[in-house]
Chains A and B, each alone.
Chain A
Amino acid sequence: MKSFKAYFKKEITEAIRTYKYLVLFFGFIFWPAMLGPMMLKLLPLILKNYMPAETMQLFSDFTRDYAFQSFLSDSFQFMLAFMAFVLMGLLANEVRLKRLVFPYSRGADPEGVVLAKYIHYAITVSLFILIAFFIDYLYVDRFFTGGILSLKILFESSLLYILYFCTLLSILLYLSSLFRRGLAAGFTVLILGFSLSIFNQFDTIKAYFPNYLILKAADIGHVFDSSLIPAIIISFCLIILFVFLSVLRMKKIDVA
């Protein structure tokens, strides 16, 4: 518990001083939630002199639901890329730069170190996702009309996004403990995040993969239903498994 508290505080200090919060803000909130709806609104104005009138007619059909779905698609890509590359060195850098020498030689618990890192960034990612969704709602609601989008739907979608990104975060944490270079972990998670979406094409198995959470988050009006249960259970199991594996790895690894 002492190691957990010490590392939790250290992670907050580190995220502030090394601008991790700021970079995550840009990737999670600014681009997809603030810039995204604005661009969608401004797109017809920008393109009106360059495109035929029939095509321009399509833009006028943009509803709040469409704008929100557009945000979900953008935010998935932005959040995945930013999370993978900002947090890829979570454990790899600690080991490679020998920063665990003092804490470990003074009896720091690997469980505390790993849990502090995971919980801190799980909270950060969750908060950023929630904020991004609510900011996007404000913009979408102001810029567009029509559709059935409500705060309830938005909240349900954001919860699925939070669970999905917390699952990926646990995988990233584990890979970061496996590779000496964080870049390898970042790329692997990035590829994994995008490639798992392929399973959404297969109706019989898609509900058993975490990427189904992302698919359902965009299913406005039917976000929460029983088809989500396997994906939710599997996601939680994956989180527990990869955090546990990370702890095991950090117990066995040579840190000097």
Chain B
Amino acid sequence: MIKVVDLKKNYGRVEALKSISFEVEKGSVFGFIGRNGAGKTTTMNILTGLIKFNDGKIIIKGKDFQENKQEVLKSIGYLPETPTFYDYMNAYEYLRFIGEIISYEGKNVSKLLEMVKLAKHKKKRIGAYSRGMKQRLALAAAFMGNPEILFLDEPASALDPEGRMEMLELIEGLKNEKITIFLSTHILNDAERVCNKICIIDEGKILLTENLSQLYKSYIQPIFDVEFEEDPTDKIDLLKKPEWVENIKENGRKISIYVKDLDYAKKEILKELSKLNTSVVSYQIRKSTLEDIFMRMVKQK
């Protein structure tokens, strides 16, 4: 559905995207994850025709994006991270305005407003909306006309927990309807829940692109979660000495020990913990989450 080959984007001397390539299959949810400033929004802005790029090729729906931009954009919906509107308009007027550009029936606008729970506020000026309400209006504008491809840039960032759950359910629903979703997020739990494929980007470079299931197989790294009775901060350095320990994350009385060799660690960890001379409350082996894999990949780079 989307194929990006050697895409480059420079802002003056700064290389925002350093020859990135990836492919998004039709009907899948493609999770694009990375730190702030990694190049996620730049990529999305390029793929939605909002900014130019310096080099590379983009194929969307089998067509060269640059040559068929206006045509391709008709099947795309974009939810930007910080949506901006004409504040003097109300939600109904704004959706009618966008609807006119894409030939969307005016009578369906009310349904769309009900879907994003803004029907009650449709006559209120957008300038008086909260950030969450603006995000929902942006969602309505992105969904308008049932686009085949949806670009969602941090869609849940401005939503309350309830709104965030609804957003995830909505994305899952769209996944079932075979809409291709390009989801940029830094909430890795969300990506883990809805995405089929994960792409990690950092400093304008793609670190990995993998199916989520394959990712767990390839990048699984066991972690030992240990809880102490007392804060172990002053004794942690002792645990960092063994070669099989890769990293330790502290969180109050709990620590997470990242290991290089699981089998060896299983045998040795209790010995090392006993050297600390501190009471252990609990101890368990945890499989890597997407967050762990992400941190590991970024650190490795």
Q: Could you tell me which A residues sit within 8 Å of B by CB distance?
A: 2-3, 5-6, 9-10, 13-14, 17-18, 97-109, 252, 254-256
Contacts and interface: CB of A to CB of B under 8 A. Distances in A.
B83 A101 contact: yes
Contacts of B103: 2
Interface string B68-82: 001101101110101
A99 B84 contact: yes
Contacts of A98: 80, 82, 84
A9 B100 CA distance: 10
A255 B69 CA distance: 15
From DSSP, what is the main secondary structure of chain A's interface residues? helix
Interface in B209-255: none
B86 A14 contact: yes
Given A14-B86, A101-B84, 5 more contacts: A5-B100, A6-B100, A104-B49, A105-B78, A106-B76
19 contacts: A6-B101, A10-B86, A13-B88, A98-B82, A98-B84, A101-B83, A102-B80, A102-B85, A104-B49, A104-B73, A106-B74, A106-B76, A106-B98, A106-B101, A106-B145, A107-B71, A107-B76, A254-B52, A256-B80
A102 B141 contact: yes
Nearest to A252: B52
B283 to A, nearest CB: 49
A105 B182 CA distance: 14
Contacts of B76: 105-107
A17 B73 CA distance: 30
Contacts of B48: 104-105, 256
B70 A107 contact: yes
B89 interface: yes
Nearest to B72: A107
Counting from the closest, the 9 A-B pairs by CB-CB distance are A107-B73, A256-B50, A6-B100, A17-B88, A105-B78, A254-B51, A105-B48, A256-B45, A98-B84
A101 B138 CA distance: 11
Nearest to B88: A17
